[in-house]
């Protein structure tokens, strides 16, 4: 999301010394020859003669940078809207009509501000790339372009109770069956799989924090059954056919006096300020801290959803920790243990990893059912020597003892951020997507930006003060490449893959491949996906602050064009791009276009009515399918 982190562009000088020293360290460690062979080492755009530009393996002709009311894709491709906010999901529902929309109606329609996308083939277990389920997070609502007269500044007073009901019904998660016919993706409207999970859905609580006294409310005296999920950002897909949805911090949903709360220190560390930004307490007193003080502890977890079983109850998996989960991406380790990588998307927060105790047996999908309830959560500490240590968030380890305020493992998890502070984890420039390259086994972590970092707060892996541009960190597990890599190891190596910004403005300190074009560089990386060949596709969120479109960029991670991005897709005014996801055959790249027109003050001066452009209508966030005109593999 972007609106909770507003920033305006500034250009500041860069501490190049840090990056240079890092380059020297890499050169001296050996074993990282791919880095040395890339165009990344040495200064970018030095003016030196350069006879033979590197050839990206991505075959599309790069899109020319453009930022206007609609979306754009590279020549020879098309980008079609598959499903948008308010689209019908059940038999008999008519088209979306903003004039008559209500909360009750929208609770059965596709949700707002689409983010994470899972494509789950049908039938389950197949690699079908023409028929499947789209499982999509609906993160929040851009109320300034949903209701006349509403601005970000006059909320929540400008919202009626009916407006709040529309907002609440439009967030959470949407599952729709989709089918591709003659190259066009469409929703199967009356599918029994179609389902909304909202702020009111029943969600089980499992793992070490289930049943803890802080998890108990008047609705749920046992502390094992939550009501609803919201602020669902990115997520992940498990080998046993479920999806993971990250709850990215419910801090502004709650109203009341944080200082008077029994766990005020915890709420403060989790950014709760009692603002009740959307006026939710008016409709539901459980969001009033004085009425239901434990309700906040029941958010900011990872939710597991089984999209293939519409009757299933989603589960909050507390073993994966409590923080502003951007996502939760899954890697099946070489020994069968399940590894989940997660970023905590706030300034100076951390990167986490979960490793299951048990091994998953692919021949027995049921072995995955509760495998995420027992394992070791750890947090990353990046060292100057190019190594990264995974520090276990385990009760009794180091300072994580009762004397220091961590009574048991449940409390370590309920206070994950505080436990990670105590272990000395490395504060990062807002970690968003973290994902493993399926071919090389290397892990990439996207730092979107951190305006608040000062020269005094720099560390080996966050190297620029007032980092408005973001960067991508590469984590290299030991043990070999691809499936040989040991993602459960205590120590990895790390590298800086790219430093974002405009490489032609030296003061920004950007570093991409030296052959990066005027269209190819980017800012504010947010999510990433890999195609079947292991090429990276990055979606950005924040370029609007630089008067540029957010977009999707394809990048080689290996070979002579390593770190050379190319622009594939540009979003319309005010929108970010989120959560690129390929079909198994690589012929479709789904991407979320989130919060179009959100840069508008209000509907009175809306910057775009994408994608319908209907006079009197509303802008609508939507999932887009990018395909080659000839139906071939994207970028191949
Ligand atoms: Fe929901 Fe981290 O963006
Ligand atoms: Ca973001
Ligand atoms: Ca995001």
Distance (angstroms) between ligand 3 centre and the Cα of 457 equals 24
Neighbouring residues of 597: CB distance < 8 A, sequence distance ≥ 6: 142, 145, 572, 573, 574, 575, 606, 607, 608, 609, 610, 619
| CA-wise closest residue to 81 among 635, 631, 620 | 620
The DSSP call for residue 598 is: T
27-78 pLDDT tens trace: 222 223 333 333 343 334 433 446 688 899 999 999 999 999 999 999 999 9
pLDDT at position 53, please? 85
pTM of the model: 0.94
Domain carrying residue 572 = 11-249+299-431+440-628
Which atom of ligand 1 lies closest to the CA of 231?
1
Which atom of ligand 1 lies closest to the CA of 115?
1
Closest listed ligand to the CA of 578: 3
Q: How far apart are CA 374 and CA 183, in angstroms?
A: 43
251-278 pLDDT tens trace: 999 999 999 999 999 999 999 999 999 9
- Write out 25-42 in H/E/C secondary structure: HHHHHCCCHHHHHCCCCC
Please, which residues bridge with residue 588 across strands? 627
Please indicate, yes or no, if residue 399 is contained in any of the structural domains. Answer: yes
Please indicate, yes or no, if residue 268 is contained in any of the structural domains. Answer: no
Mean pLDDT of 421-446: 98
Please indicate, yes or no, if residue 72 is contained in any of the structural domains. Answer: yes
Distance (angstroms) between ligand 2 centre and the Cα of 326 equals 8
Please indicate, yes or no, if residue 64 is contained in any of the structural domains. Answer: yes
Instruction: Indicate the number of domains in the chain.
Output: 1
Angle (CA) 330-334-339 rounded to 5° is 25
Which atom of ligand 1 lies closest to the CA of 541?
3
470-505 pLDDT tens trace: 999 999 999 999 999 999 999 999 999 999 999 999
561-593 pLDDT tens trace: 999 999 999 999 999 999 999 999 999 999 999
pLDDT at position 23, please? 37
Res. 377 pLDDT band, cuts 50 70 90: very high
Closest listed ligand to the CA of 139: 1
Reduced to 3 states (helix: H, G, I; strand: E, B; else coil), residue 340 is strand
Residue 127 burial (10 A CB sphere; 0-12, 13-18, 19+): exposed
- 547, pLDDT greater than 90: yes
Please indicate, yes or no, if residue 292 is contained in any of the structural domains. Answer: no
Please indicate, yes or no, if residue 3 is contained in any of the structural domains. Answer: no
- 357, pLDDT greater than 50: yes
Which atom of ligand 1 lies closest to the CA of 430?
2
Distance (angstroms) between ligand 2 centre and the Cα of 580 equals 14
Distance (angstroms) between ligand 3 centre and the Cα of 244 equals 15
Please indicate, yes or no, if residue 293 is contained in any of the structural domains. Answer: no
Which atom of ligand 1 lies closest to the CA of 234?
1
Distance (angstroms) between ligand 2 centre and the Cα of 385 equals 30
Q: What values do phi and psi take at 280, rounded to 5? A: -70, -30
- Residue 514, domain CATH: 2.120.10.30
pLDDT at position 276, please? 97
Distance (angstroms) between ligand 3 centre and the Cα of 345 equals 8
Distance (angstroms) between ligand 1 centre and the Cα of 248 equals 7
Per-position DSSP letters for 478-528, written without gaps between them: SS-SGGG--TT-SEEEEEEEEE-S-TTSGGG--B--TT--TTT--S-EEEE
Closest Cα to atom 3 of ligand 1: 1
Asked if 512 and 565 touch (Cβ cutoff 8 Å), the reply is: yes
- 370, pLDDT greater than 50: yes
Which atom of ligand 1 lies closest to the CA of 248?
1
- What residues have a C-beta under 5 A from ligand 2, the ion? 526, 541
Give residues (CB < 6 A) around ligand 1.
1, 115, 139, 233, 248, 326, 345, 432
What integer best gives the mean pLDDT of the chain? 93
Please indicate, yes or no, if residue 147 is contained in any of the structural domains. Answer: yes
Distance (angstroms) between ligand 3 centre and the Cα of 344 equals 10
Q: What values do phi and psi take at 49, rounded to 5? A: -60, 140
Angle (CA) 200-203-206 rounded to 5° is 155
Mean pLDDT of 284-289: 98
Res. 343 pLDDT band, cuts 50 70 90: very high
């Amino acid at each position: 999301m972007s609106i909770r982190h507003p920033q305006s562009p500034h250009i500041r000088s860069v501490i190049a010394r840090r990056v240079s020293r890092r380059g020297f360290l890499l050169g001296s460690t050996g074993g990282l020859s791919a880095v040395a062979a890339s165009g990344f080492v040495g200064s970018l755009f030095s003016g030196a003669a350069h006879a033979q530009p590197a050839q990206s393996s991505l075959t599309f002709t790069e899109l020319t940078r453009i930022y206007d009311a609609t979306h754009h894709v590279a020549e020879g491709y098309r980008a079609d809207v598959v499903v948008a906010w308010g689209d019908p999901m059940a038999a008999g529902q008519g088209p979306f009509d903003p004039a008559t929309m209500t909360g009750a109606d929208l609770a059965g329609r596709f949700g707002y501000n689409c983010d994470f996308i899972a494509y789950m083939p049908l039938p389950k277990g197949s690699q079908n790339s023409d028929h499947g389920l789209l499982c999509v997070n609906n993160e929040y609502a851009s109320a300034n372009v949903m209701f006349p007269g509403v601005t970000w500044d006059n909320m929540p007073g400008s919202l009626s109770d009916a407006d709040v009901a529309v907002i609440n019904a439009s967030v959470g998660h949407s599952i729709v069956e989709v089918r591709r016919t003659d190259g066009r993706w469409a929703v199967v409207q009356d599918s029994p799989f179609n389902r909304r999970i909202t702020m009111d859905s029943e969600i089980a609580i499992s793992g070490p924090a289930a049943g803890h006294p802080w998890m108990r409310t008047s609705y749920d005296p046992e502390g094992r059954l939550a009501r609803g999920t919201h602020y669902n950002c990115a997520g992940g897909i498990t080998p046993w056919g479920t999806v993971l949805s990250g709850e990215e911090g419910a801090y502004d949903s709650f109203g009341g006096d944080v200082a008077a709360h029994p766990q005020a220190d915890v709420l403060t560390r989790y950014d709760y300020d009692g603002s009740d930004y959307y006026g939710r307490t008016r409709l539901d007193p459980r969001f009033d801290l004085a009425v239901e003080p434990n309700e906040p502890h029941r958010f900011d977890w990872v939710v597991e959803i089984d999209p293939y079983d519409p009757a299933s109850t989603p589960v909050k998996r507390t073993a994966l920790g409590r923080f502003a989960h951007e996502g939760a991406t899954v890697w099946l380790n070489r020994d069968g243990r399940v590894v989940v990588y997660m970023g905590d998307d706030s300034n100076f927060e951390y990167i986490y990893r979960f490793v299951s105790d048990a091994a998953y047996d692919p021949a027995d999908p049921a072995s995955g059912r509760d495998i995420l309830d027992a394992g070791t959560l750890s947090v990353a500490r990046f060292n100057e020597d190019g190594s990264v240590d995974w520090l276990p968030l385990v009760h009794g380890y180091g300072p994580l003892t009762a004397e220091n305020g961590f009574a048991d493992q449940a409390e370590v998890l309920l206070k994950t951020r505080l436990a990670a502070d105590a272990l000395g984890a490395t504060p990062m420039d807002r970690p968003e997507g973290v994902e493993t390259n399926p071919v090389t086994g290397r892990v990439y972590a996207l730092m979107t930006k951190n305006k608040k970092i000062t020269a005094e707060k720099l560390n080996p892996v966050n190297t620029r003060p007032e980092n408005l541009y973001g960067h991508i960190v590469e984590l290299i597990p030991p043990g070999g490449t691809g499936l040989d890599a040991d993602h459960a190891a205590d120590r990895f190596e790390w590298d800086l893959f790219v430093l974002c910004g405009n490489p032609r403005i030296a003061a920004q300190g950007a570093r991409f491949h030296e052959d990066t074009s005027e269209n190819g560089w980017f800012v504010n990386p947010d999510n990433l996906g890999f195609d079947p060949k292991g090429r990276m596709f990055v979606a950005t969120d924040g370029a609007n602050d630089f008067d540029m479109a957010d977009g999707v960029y394809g990048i080689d991670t290996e070979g002579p064009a390593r770190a050379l991005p190319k622009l594939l897709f540009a979003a319309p005014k005010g929108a970010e791009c989120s959560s690129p996801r390929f079909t198994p055959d690589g012929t479709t790249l789904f991407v979320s276009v989130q919060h179009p027109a959100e840069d508008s003050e209000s509907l009175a001066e809306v910057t775009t009515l994408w994608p319908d452009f209907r006079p009197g209508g509303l802008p609508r966030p939507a999932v887009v399918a990018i395909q080659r005109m000839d139906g071939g593999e994207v970028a191949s």
